[in-house]
Structure formats: C-alpha cells, structure tokens
Amino acid sequence: MGLGYVLLKRLQRERRRRRRSRHALVPVVADESIASPEKRKGSCYQQDDSPRSGKKMRYSGPYLPEEMWQHIHSLMPMKDAARAACLSSAFLYSWRNRPKLSFSTETMGIVEGTTDFIRKIDRVMKKHSGIGVKALTIEFNGLFSTKARSYLERWLQIAVTPRIEELSLSMSKGKAYYDFPCSLLSDGSGSSIRLLDLYCCTFHPTAEIGCFQSLTRLHLEYVRITGDELGCVFSTSFALEWLKLRLCRHIKYMKLPCVLQRLTYVEVRGCSRLRVIENKAPNLHSLHIFYQAYHPIQLSFGESSLVKNLSIGYSSVLNHACAELPYIFPNLETLTIRSLGEMVSTPMVPNTFLHLKYLCITLSAVTLSPSYDYLSLVSFLDACPSLDTFIVDVSAKHPENDSIFENPSHLRQLPEQRHDNLRNVKITGFRSVKSLLELTYHILENTSVECLTLDTSFESFRCSPGKLGRCSRMPKDDLMEASKALFAIRTYIEGKVPSTVRLNVVEPCSRCHVMEPFTVETRK
C-alpha cells in the first residue's frame, strides 16, 4: 500500500504539471503505451508529437511489467485505487478488473443514507467486468433495507464466480434478515471459496449446493441455520481449518465429521439452543464455548481427543469442569473457565489434568453468594501437577460482610500439599474478601511461585504516559473497595511474601482517579 500511495501522489503531481506547462513531464504509466517496448528503449526521456507545440518530452520512469502495475493498484485502498484510475488508463483497466472489492461506509467515504450507499456501490459494480474478482466484502452498517436486496443479488451475480476466494456480507442487525441465495454457490462457484463470512443472514445450504473443497475459514454470526444445514457444509469442506459460530440460535446439534481432517479451531458463542457437540475431526486442538444458559452442553469427543486449548463459560461451568472435563479432554494444556452464575464453592476435582500448564478462572456472576469460598479453588491446584500459570479474575460484586475487616477472625490453613511447578499467579479485581486472602496465603506457603500479581484496579483499560485517553471510569464503590484491598494486602500479605517471590501490586491509576486511603478508623 505504501508504494501504491507514492505512485498515486506522483501521478497527481504530474497531472498538475501537465496543466501548467506545455513541456510538462508525464509518467508513462498514465498512458496506455506503458507496455510498448519501442518507447522503453534509449533515454528515459522520449519525444512525442504535440499538436500545439510540435514536440514534447515524456518522462518514462522505471519500467515495470503491466502485471506489476496492476498488482500495485490492487493493493491500494478503494479510495486511492479509484483516484488512480481517473489519472491512468492503465490503472483504469486494472480498476475494471480489480480482484478485491470492499464496500463500507469507511471505504466509500461520506454516505448520505441507504440510497447514496447503494448508488455508489452500484456505479462501481456496473463498470466492473466481473472478471477476476477474488474477494468481495460488503458491510451495510445499518444501511441495509428492502430496497438493497435486488441490488445486492445483482452484485453477487457479478462477483460470485468459480474464481472467487473470499465472500463477506454484513447486513444490518435488528432489521429483516437477508436470505442468502445458496444457488449462487452451485455449479462450481462455491468450490473456490476459502473464506465465507456472513452476518445477519438466513443461510439454508443443501446437499445439492455443491462442494466447498477450498473452504478454510467459516464465520457465521446472527445467521439462521440449523445443525443439519451446517452438516451439509461440513460434508464437503475437506480443507476447513477454522470455524466460528456466534449467536446462531437455531442450531441444536452440531456434528463435526471425520472428513474435517484439517480443522484445528472451533469457537461457539451465544448459540443458546445448542445442546450437543459431537466431534470426530481428528486434529481439533482449540475449542472455545461460551453461552448464557444454565445447562451444560453435552460434549462427545472420544477417548483420544487431542484438544489442548479449551475456553468454556456458562452458569454451572465450575461443577462441570471439575466432574467431567478431565475425562473428556485428557490432553489439555491451557484451560480458561468463565462462571456466569451464582456459586457457593468449588467442588473437589476427582481426576487430574496431567498436562495442564495454564489455568484462568473468571468469576463474573453479578453477585456471588456470601458464602463463596475462594480457598476451595485450591482443588484445581491439587488436580494440576504440571501447572505453571494460575490466573483468577474476580469481577463479581461481594456482600460487605465478606470483607476481612467485617470478619477479622483467624485465617484458615489447609493441610500442606506442594505445587512446585507453579511459577506465576495473578489475581485481578483483588478484594478484601477473607477467603481470597486465605487463597493467596496458601499459594505463598505451598508453591514455588516466582511472581505474584495482585491487581486492585478493576479497570478494563488503563492509560499510559505519552498517550491520549483516560483510564476507564471506576465507580466510587469500586475505588473504596480498591482502597480496602490495598490495606488488606499491606496488613495480611506483604509480611508473608518470601524474598524469592516478586510481588506486584497494581493500584488504580493516580492520574485518572482520586482514591481515599482506607484505615480501620475509616470503616468505623
């Protein structure tokens, strides 16, 4: 894109010079004679007949093959490519055969409503030859309407050919879903697609649609499709490597067949009706499942599952994780758990994650039970003998009486059990909750931890010196809780930290927040 931008600026300068002077120097790339070998010989300056002044010098510049200029033109952003086509007949030809077409409010400039957006795209598509389109992206960003349907189908008929490799359509959320014409992908037109990305569409593929033999990435979000229809896509997607399904609420059952030999990554979010995932894809390594529901998804992965990276989140996930995940995924190396519902404590883990090295647990219920016991998370440490990194993210609210300052009784200690492979521990959203202090103390006493980070900031974004912007806003209650947490760390934790452990205490940003120091007298 940098070379294309420089070339465009050069063309613009030469055009201005040509207007100002009879003997202006004009780059050959602005003329169709760029590929003429006769005009490339000899000096870089060549004579040309001029009806007004007899002879004119034309600057040839460095010779590049026509295919190279077309490649440079294809790398330009849409706006720059259109401007270059206005200045150069060679680029005009490239513009009419541009392989990558991307239409959005960003690439099309100022758009005055749906009609103007449609008009600008239609003007480009009418002049495009339809030859050589490899990628088509259309993002309506709230501008999709009934009027746009007929135009969109005409554009798709021009662009979707047996040569297209990437197709991305983003309709407008909250409006009528666009019924994607699956017939466009028949007769070999779908066999070349490598990326299919649909947003807010109805997609009903059938077995007769043809083969998706080149499809490597499939992303469906807010798409109305059933499990059987998804199976029609999978049955011929022999090259599929990456699958992402978000908020596809008509899928109840998903089966990943053994023909998906190259599938390594699957992400499923917000598919609230999904009940079963059956996997026979032999090389699936990364699985991410998140949804707002109280029921666990039935996971059928066989005894030889090679999944190494798992992220999973729903209301009762901690109970499910403890009871079943070690059996379903015996080869896990990284595990991220996000609990979305109320809990009392973490049950004992009956089996062992032998290979697990990274564990992140996020407790994000709106309000945790007053009796929730953070010390019970030690059961995960007991079940992970190879664990190197342990992260706890506490983003839930706690009742006031959970604080160590409301219940200053003696801190509990569990029977000693060493976790000598543990090196890094981080607790974000650290609070003055008594059981959280007990968990921290247990880690200091029973592990070989080298770095302990206690983050009291509750900030999703932090500013940094020399950059614009401020930290995300912290409510007054969170600032007070951060102050209490800092006081608890100084009182109960700092004196227990061995010299071999690096303690990092993260406080709210002093540039963006004013925090009153907490003392026991303040509480009174």
- What is residue 66's three-state secondary structure? helix
Rounded to an integer, what distance in angstroms lies between the CA atom of residue 319 and that of residue 347?
7
Residues 184 and 283 in one domain: yes
pLDDT exceeds 80 at position 519: no
- Residue 390 covered by a domain: yes
Specify if 389 maps to a domain. Answer: yes
Name the band, by pLDDT with cuts 50, 70 and 90, for residue 48.
Answer: very low
Answer yes or no: is 398 within a domain.
yes
d(CA 229, CA 491): 60
Q: Are residues 130 and 260 in the same domain?
A: yes
Does residue 249 share a domain with residue 117?
A: yes
DSSP state of 489: I
CA atoms of 386 and 295, how far apart (whole Å): 30
Domain final residue pick, 98, 122, 138 = 98
* Residues whose CB is less than 8 angstroms from the CB of residue 466 and which lie 6 or more positions away in sequence, other chains included: none
223 assigned to some structural domain: yes
Number of structural domains, the chain?
3
Q: What is the pLDDT of residues 173-232, one digit of tens each?
A: 766 788 999 888 887 778 899 999 999 999 999 887 778 999 999 999 999 999 999 999
H or E element in which residue 245 lies: strand 242-246
CB 20 within 8 A of CB 95: no
Least reliable range by pLDDT among 63-72, 102-111, 425-434: 63-72
The DSSP symbol for 110 reads S
Q: Identify which of 192, 176, 175 has the alpha carbon closest to the alpha carbon of residue 184.
A: 192
Q: Which CATH number belongs to the domain containing residue 298 in this structure?
A: 3.80.10
Distance CA 489, CA 16 (A): 69
Helix and strand totals (H; E) in the chain:
13, 21
Q: Which of 12-26, 122-136, 181-195, 457-471 has the lowest mean pLDDT?
A: 12-26
290 and 342 in a common domain: no
* Cβ pair 377, 398 in contact under 8 A: no
- Apex CA 220: angle with CA 219 and CA 223, to 5°? 170
Residues 284 and 433 in one domain: no
d(CA 201, CA 210): 20
Residues 289 and 386 in one domain: no
56 within domain boundaries: no
77 and 114 together in one domain: no
Q: Which one is predicted more confidently, 266 or 178?
A: 266
pTM of the complete model: 0.80
Residue 335's pLDDT is 95
Q: How confident is the model at residue 34 (pLDDT cuts 50, 70, 90)?
A: very low
In angstroms, the CA 178 to CA 473 distance is 39
- Domain holding 93, by residue range, is 66-98
Q: Is residue 49 part of a domain?
A: no
From 156, 155, 203, select the one nearest 182 (Cα to Cα): 203
- Length of the chain (residues): 524
If you average pLDDT over each of 234-248, 373-387, 404-418, 474-488, which comes out highest?
234-248
Instruction: Please check whether residue 224 is in contact with residue 176, taking contact to mean a CB–CB distance below 8 angstroms.
Output: no
Taking residues 52-67, report their average pLDDT: 51
Note whether 433 and 483 are within 8 A (CB).
no
Max mean pLDDT range (6-20, 252-266, 410-424, 455-469): 252-266
Residues 262 and 367 in one domain: no
Q: 303 with 181, same domain?
A: yes
Computed over every residue of the chain, the mean pLDDT equals 80
State the CB neighbour count (10 A cutoff) for residue 60.
21
> Does any domain span residue 378?
yes
Is 224 part of any domain? yes
On whether both 384 and 483 belong to a single domain, the answer is yes
Nearest to 274 by CA among 300, 307, 248, 256: 248
Distance, in Å, from the CA atom of 469 to the CA atom of 511, rounded to the nearest integer, reads: 11
* pLDDT at residue number 40: 39
The predicted structure's pLDDT at residue 79: 66
Tell me the angle at which helices 113-127 and 146-159 cross, rounded to the nearest 10 degrees. Answer: 20
Average confidence (pLDDT) over 421-429: 94
Give yes or no: residues 182 and 286 share one domain. yes
**Mean pLDDT throughout 363-370?**
62
Question: For residue range 402-415, what is the model confidence (pLDDT) as tens digits?
Answer: 788 887 778 888 87
Instruction: Give the whole-angstrom CA distance, residue 161 versus residue 191.
Output: 10
Nearest in space to 196 (alpha carbons), one of 242, 249, 259:
242
Query: Are 156 and 210 in a shared domain?
Result: yes
Alpha carbon 103 to its chain's center: 21
